[in-house]
Amino acid sequence: MPLLLSRHALGLFVGVGIAAVASGQTPERPAPRIIRAVRTSTPPTIDGRLTEEAWAAAPVADGFTQRDPDEGRPATERTEVRILFDDTAVYVGARMFDGEPTRITRRLSSRDSDADADRLTIYLDPMRDKLTGAIFRVSAANVQQDAALYNDSWWDGTWDAVWQSQVSTDDQGWSAEIRIPLSQLRFTNADRQTWGINVERFVRRKNEYSWLEMVPKNENGNASRMLELTGLDGMHPRRNLELLPYVAARAEFVQPAAAGNPFNDGSRGFGAAGLDMKWGLSSNLTVSATVNPDFGQVEVDPAVVNLTAFETFFDEKRPFFLEGSQIFNNFGRGGANDYWGFNNSEPQIFYSRRIGRAPQLAASGDYVDAPTATTILGAAKLTGKTSGRWSLGLLQAITGEETARTSVGGFGSRAVVEPLTSYTVARVQREVGNRTGLGFLATSVSRQLNTQAAKDGLSSDAFVVGTDAYWFVDGDKEWVLTGDLATSRVSGTTTLLEKLQRAPQRYYQRPDAPHVHLDPTLTSLSGFTGRVNLNRNRGNWRVNAALWTGSPGWESNDLGFHSTGDRAGAHAVVFVQGTRPRPFSRSRSVWAAKSWTWNFAREMQSDTWNMQARNTFMNYWSAGINAGYGRRTLDDRLTRGGPSAESPSSGFVNLQGNTDSRRWLSVSSNYNQNWRESGAWSRNASVSLNFKPSPRLTISTGPQWNRNHSIAQYVTTITDATATHTFGGRYVFGGLEQSQLTMTTRVSVIVTPKVSMQVFAQPLIAVGDYGDFKELARPRSYDFLHYGVTAGSIAYDRLTRSYAVDPDGAGAAPAFSFSDPDFNFKSLRLNAVFRWEVKPGSALYAVWTRQQVDLTNPGVFSPGRDARALFGAGGDDVILVKMAYWLGR
């Protein structure tokens, strides 16, 4: 591996490490309190009233301490918690006394959303490993939220458990009863159990967070800071079996693509059935499986206009792949609570949206009917943690072969657009002692390629293997080193491998890159990536520093997400916070960072400074400023496979402001301005309004405006042997005036905690007007030859909407043409989801999705006209009704 770190970066990283070793000892903490649970022979009725005799016999846990707003002081309202258990469940009874019971906030929200209400949160660590656990939250309106706790203090809110709760209010406050089935928890099989427990109460009108065991804001940890929960004698794990069969009916009403299209008469219907399953393989290992899953109730992705060479990253939203994802996605993320990144192109090794993606091969014909997604025939995963402190995750998914129907000259046929594919992910991690963790991650993709087009377009096999580790430098776990190293290998035909070599992740064809070259005989490609990170987890001042690298040959996009390769980099951040209230500040923070990136030819690709300052005022309004400056460097991606160009120096400033989110109307605003020494600039501003006119209705909306003035937006590359000044290629750019206006709106109507309606709407207008076409004048510069001004001539044909260029007038260079890149993209995406939780774990969904697009008037931005065209455009509608019924205990 070549050494790609400057002496400045290495010295800074080592200096931070020396500071870690030299840091002082923290005061010894007092011995934690112990909470005792009591076995009950008669389970309490879950009605929100602690009237059963068993509750009176259980010891009271109280003495809560504020974390906010007055850290360290006793809670202003008294809270009492009791714990019961039997052979099937753990029961939590809580009494939240309140001196002003009429002011208890009981706003409704959808399940698993952050309830803007008074609430109680129970934290459990049944494995008592001080790293993982489960979180159960109930609001004063009985809205439930649950999450998995991992890496000591991180949440995974995608975990869904089936549990019961009920609340009640009276003239002394409110009460909550919670039943958590043992089948939903993972713990060791032992006659005497000791768990971890903590409890948090939130009083909304006071913005007061109080904890049974309070962790100071300048410290870290959650699972490791819990109290001991004892008395759970004779409790044993239950091997549960949960089944969630579903049936669904879907109707599509689409705009006819063209007259005579044999595949589209404007409407079609579908029916589907499938099954999700969970099985407790052992006391702490669970198998989850799905057969023919349907995710029609998931919110649609927003529309985007992407002018880069890289694909757009979209978050995973499908429940099966979300639940337990922290096991697979925490590679290289153990131990530390902060992972900063600046110009970081470190890959995501497992990106679950690759499973079931849109077909990757194209079909041609007069008319084509291609599927929009690949069918997932089935998927299964094994997750859990053993008593030997091994965390395990195994995922296997099979997607079916997809074909597109085609029609040529009235004759129909089928073409394979996605082959039968197997996806495998394996993750293992083990804690060694109290200060070290080691892990392993591997992914594999194997395809059944039966056509030459499939063999030339997709890899037959792709593998990634990696290892990661963390080590707490000190016994108090204040400083931690984390790292990971992984290698990849992909195999296929020479046609495919040439395509991968030319891909924007690596651009092996770059004529001035001495460290890479295009090899048309390759049938496999290998690479590596790695990172080491130093972090201080606690204190009012913190440090984060990292060194990372990714070789040109790294390839993980068969089952991962990776943009720019051929990179290495470093950064160091110093973060200072103040958590004690001051006359005009409730809390404040400031940080500064220095970062660099290089390619593997040791050419600097970015050299930046960044800083941010933020303050929360006494009235809970907040404001912040973020600014940065980048020095002039090289850019080996501007020409998209051509020679490096110069990257002019640049800067930015960003301003943010937020009002108190507890009010019926709160506002969040943002303004950002970027500029370059070349004269390019961009500005964007947004205002988000959050309305809460009633406890059952929340509306979030606001406009976002973007304006971009680009000097050199890539248009095309023309091969021309006479262009000796740029290695036989003409790299054509244009000036771009881009305007974009969007207004993302979400409406939440909550009838009861079990019945809700969620609406998402995103109108988008994006217009780009190109001009001043030119080509790069010489490598490693930001100089251009402007067509029709300083070089050759250019003419526009309105009939064909194309440009004709003679690059050197009377010279020997051949003329060429390219299509007008102007655009006017208008999109409306609407998604409405009605959800009725018929019983715990069972739900009925009714979903309406609409998408409409208009492309008229390219290059000309007129908000009024474009809005009328957008809302008047035809669209496609999909209506789905789905019933999923939970069977379990």
Average pLDDT estimate for 664-681: 96
CB-based contacts of 122: which residues, under 8 Å, 6+ apart? 92, 135, 136, 137, 178, 197, 198, 199
Over residues 686-739, the pLDDT tens digits come to 999 999 998 899 999 999 999 999 999 999 999 999 999 999 999 999 999 999
Over residues 773-820, the pLDDT tens digits come to 999 999 999 999 999 999 999 999 999 999 999 999 888 999 999 999
In this structure, of 25-29, 364-368, 425-429, 745-749, the range with the lowest mean pLDDT score is 25-29
Check the CA dihedral 636-642-648-654 and report its sign. Answer: negative
pLDDT at 1: 37
Q: Are 718 and 733 in contact (CB under 8 A)?
A: no
Q: Which pairing describes strands 79-85 and 89-97: parallel, antiparallel, or unpaired?
A: antiparallel
In this structure, of 51-65, 95-109, 289-303, 513-527, the range with the lowest mean pLDDT score is 289-303
- Cα-Cα-Cα-Cα dihedral of 245, 251, 254, 257, to 10°? 80
Residue 26: pLDDT band (50, 70, 90) is very low
Mean of all residue pLDDT scores within the chain: 91
Q: Are 135 and 318 in contact (CB under 8 A)?
A: no
pLDDT at 301: 86
In this structure, of 265-269, 271-275, 615-619, 881-885, the range with the lowest mean pLDDT score is 265-269
CA 580 to chain centre: 32
Greatest mean pLDDT among 215-229, 285-299, 651-665 lies in 651-665
Q: Are 588 and 622 in contact (CB under 8 A)?
A: no
Residue 433: pLDDT band (50, 70, 90) is confident
H or E segment at 9? Answer: helix 7-22
Check the CA dihedral 19-21-23-29 and report its sign. Answer: positive
Q: Is the pLDDT of residue 14 over 50?
A: no
Average pLDDT estimate for 26-50: 81
pLDDT at 238: 73
Residue 847: pLDDT band (50, 70, 90) is very high
In this structure, of 16-30, 86-100, 631-645, 714-728, the range with the lowest mean pLDDT score is 16-30
C-alpha distances in angstroms, 341 versus 335, 544, 590, 594, 870? 17, 10, 17, 11, 38
pLDDT at 803: 97
Domains of the chain in start order, with CATH, are 32-230 (2.60.40.1190)
Q: Is the pLDDT of residue 392 over 80?
A: yes
Write phi, then psi, for 284 (nearest 5 degrees): -140, 20
Which residue's structure tokens are 């002003």? 100
Q: Between 411 and 708, whose confidence is greater? A: 708
Which residue's structure tokens are 């370059």? 676
Q: Is the pLDDT of residue 132 over 80?
A: yes
Q: Is the pLDDT of residue 13 over 50?
A: no
pLDDT at 313: 87
User: Which structure tokens are listed for 48?
Assistant: 């929100």
Does a cis peptide bond (omega within 30 degrees of 0) precede residue 779? no
pLDDT at 257: 58
Write phi, then psi, for 282 (nearest 5 degrees): -150, -170
Write phi, then psi, for 243 (nearest 5 degrees): -120, 140
CB-based contacts of 564: which residues, under 8 Å, 6+ apart? 310, 345, 504, 505, 637
How large a percentage of the chain has pLDDT more than 70?
96
Burial call 666-693: b when 16+ CB within 10 Å, e when fewer: bbbbbebbbbbeeebbbebebbbebebe
Residue 762: pLDDT band (50, 70, 90) is very high
Q: Are 803 and 838 in contact (CB under 8 A)?
A: no
pLDDT at 810: 83
Strand-pairing partners, residue 472, are 480
pLDDT at 23: 43
pLDDT at 256: 66
Average pLDDT estimate for 199-217: 94
Residue 831: pLDDT band (50, 70, 90) is very high
pLDDT at 258: 62
Q: Is the pLDDT of residue 11 over 60?
A: no
User: Which structure tokens are listed for 702?
Assistant: 């606001």
Q: Say how far apart CA 454 and CA 246 lie, in whole Å.
A: 34
Average pLDDT estimate for 246-264: 81
Coil, helix or strand at residue 755: strand
pLDDT at 279: 87
In this structure, of 7-16, 147-156, 536-545, 562-571, the range with the lowest mean pLDDT score is 7-16
Closest CA to 412 of 265, 267, 262, 268: 262
